[in-house]
Structure 1
Amino acid sequence: MSDVSSRDADKGLRFESRHRAVVELAALDKSDFDAVLRRILRTDASELDVERVNCWALDSDRAIRCVAGYLRGPDRFESGTVLEAATYPSYFRALADNPIILAGDARTDDRTREFTESYLVPLGITSMMDVPIWVRGQLWGVVCHEHVGPARQWSDAERDFAVTIGHIVSMAVEARERADAEQTARFSEFFMGVLSHDLRNPLGSIRTAAELLLQRDTDETRLRATERIVRNTDRMSRMIDQLLDFTRIRSGGGLPTHLEPVDLAMLAHQVVSELSTDVASRVDIEHRGNALGMFDADRMWQTISNLLINAVAHGSPAARVQVLVDGTSADRVIIEITNAGSMPGSLVPVLFDPFRRHDAAATPRKKGLGLGLFIVREIVTAHAGTIAVKPEVDRVTFRVTLPRRPPNAA
């Protein structure tokens, strides 16, 4: 009876110790993620009496990376190891399919035996208990408990404690993501303030002064120099507008739209009429049917202008750019902009990614931030439309399809 009483007393002490550990870990200030994670792993290893406890994060569906690994014997941490899904496919499938992986004999268990030669045997690991970490419904990573010594069967109490540790790690990850989001929002507000005031206002003053010089100066050399100032201030203004739009999108605010009746064919003609003479002179516009719908006129102006400038900049020199506004369908309007030239197929999947400049042989007129097509896609998406690019042997066509009345139209 004394042995039974002693075992019960030990169980009671372990339960109290683990309960106290869970309460303390859950109450930690989680503002310093790295420090909190190390505290969690060290406590976890001590309470479960395991040699190694590692926290791995998914880099993608194809790999996990060790964010922090605790070695109890030498009392030290390590990180950086990457495991590829292609090398350990059974384990990666088990992570997504199992609430917990209990491998009493990790070297023969179907889910973990892939690690035997490369990991388990060299480190003396015989048993594993791995808890997948889920954050907001997505698999974020895994906490791995690795036992060194004779094979070990994990008890229900040990399993429950490990799962609770997984929940605490999930809480820490969410706290870090919230802090990162708040920091990003603060930076976005500061960045937008700098762009909209500290940069745009002086730029406006420079352009106004240059316009006055154009009106009063008669020297040809100075006039040409002043015209370059005007062109470059306009270009810088467009870049500031693009950065402001990009910041709004990335901060989660999206692009606001003011929908009103707009004739896209008429708008296309207006856009071309206000482009520089060298660009406008190369553009032909064709329109079919009724192009009237509920659109944001300023945003659609921005879309057509960006696509036209892109077509002229990246098309064959001196070749004409074709614009088709097709309103023959009852429920949508289609805009197609075609330029002569070619586009490698490998470029299509990343064409609308931000900060990509797609012409390796960029000349000064082709330089920019690489945000134009990204913002065009976001504008089209805000109208519940689609945009696609169709590269052919000797020409490239951008096709924008817009519902006449988007779902958010009043």
Structure 2
Amino acid sequence: MKISQKLFLAFIGLTSIVLIATLSLARWSFDQGFVNYIHSLEEERLHTLSNSFSSLYGQSGQSWDNVSVQQLNTLLRVFSADPLKLVTNGDRKLPPRPLFVDAIKGVDSGPEERVRRGPPPHLRDARKAGPPRRLGPPTSIYNPAGERLAGDAFDDIDGSISMPVLYNDEVVATLYSNPIFEVNSISAKAFAKQQLWTSIWIGLLCLSLAIIISWLLARVLLMPVREVVKGISHLSKGNYSERFNLDRQDELGLLMNDIDHLAVTLENTRSAKNRWFADISHELRTPLSILCGEIDAIKAGIRPFNQQQLTSLEQEVMRIKHLVDDLYQLSLSDVGGLKYQFESLNITQCINETLLSLEDKISEKDIAVSFTADEPIFITGDAMRLRQLLANVILNSVAYTDSPGRLSIDLITEKERLLIVFNDTKPSVDASECELLFDPLHRQDSSRVRRNNGAGLGLTISRNIVEAHDGLISARPSNLGGLCIEIVLPLQKES
């Protein structure tokens, strides 16, 4: 399965889960809110009933003994209609106000006359027609002593909705009604079903919109990924000149920049490899051509085979041997094959011993060396490899410094590191080419060219030795007019 398909399915799956959860919670919230709305209507109905019973209580001489059970039941049944509908009597709406109040008509005939006269005509008509079918919840009225005056009996009165009947701020009775947990009316079910289908259609519409957006997002988000795949395909085919032209600041942009850097590195590596082979061929061709020429001259009798010719042949063979040894050392250092035995050593003594072993070559080139450090400085390293490092750097200065010349060696300690600075006299190297001195077989076009039989691998091997000691080596133009090589090594940690 492609990434675009996985990304598309991930978007759709996430959207579906969120949509289902949202619609389910919305449906649950609607059901709970609808029931709460019914409960509020029920409380309003009980409040209307409370006012009616309060008026009836006042009209009956402030005693429930003067009110018949039939009157109470009739009043309960009239106000027990479906709470979702208006309470009606035929086509006429019943007034939401207390019943049996003569003051509404502006008449006050006294409590005896009101009791004798009985309920209003619409209640008498309702009594003659028989008790209406109750659509609302069961309702009962209890006196303050907890005795049921009228209405339905309750098994659990504590779990019911209650409403006090107040007369002159005194509780004269309490109305109880069963709470509604599920609406069973036809209109309520139709409304709930309509809301359910509306939610379903909204969900399908949102899902369709999510599918379209997910498809577009998958294409847009994977566009740079396709560019990355295309770029890597070019690299795998050896085409290192392709570059990304997209300016992005996100993670894909960083990846593209890294791939561009990798392409540049691979291209430089390929160029270096080709140059490496050409340089090695050139280094080997020169002494081999000389050997072949001298051997042909001896065979043809042009030159006599004597000690002088033998010495000349030996020099060319030693030059080839020196080049092969350097290549072998370089290959070992590149792959980490050089063995190191780290120990505590005095770098000052190590430099003095190296200078003493190279005294003849330094004197032969008429190079004055100044190194006057007598204080011992201890580092952790391999003594043999460090002497090889020092010898390579010193011989490089001796080989490329005009006679008479001068070489200065200074030791500088800074916190936890040691700086070994080599400064020589003319000729110098351009600052732009200083770092290239550590490349294998690097050739310069300036006056500081190779003047001995070396192959130009000494500084390359030196850099590998320094890096093996967790150090740094760099080159720059010297203030003496020549080249400055600086080596940074960590000092020995005090135990």
Range into which the TM-score falls when normalised by the shorter chain:
0.3 to 0.5
Whichever of the two has the greater Rg, that structure is 2
TM-score (structure 1 length as normaliser):
0.44
Structure with the higher fraction of residues in strand conformation? 1
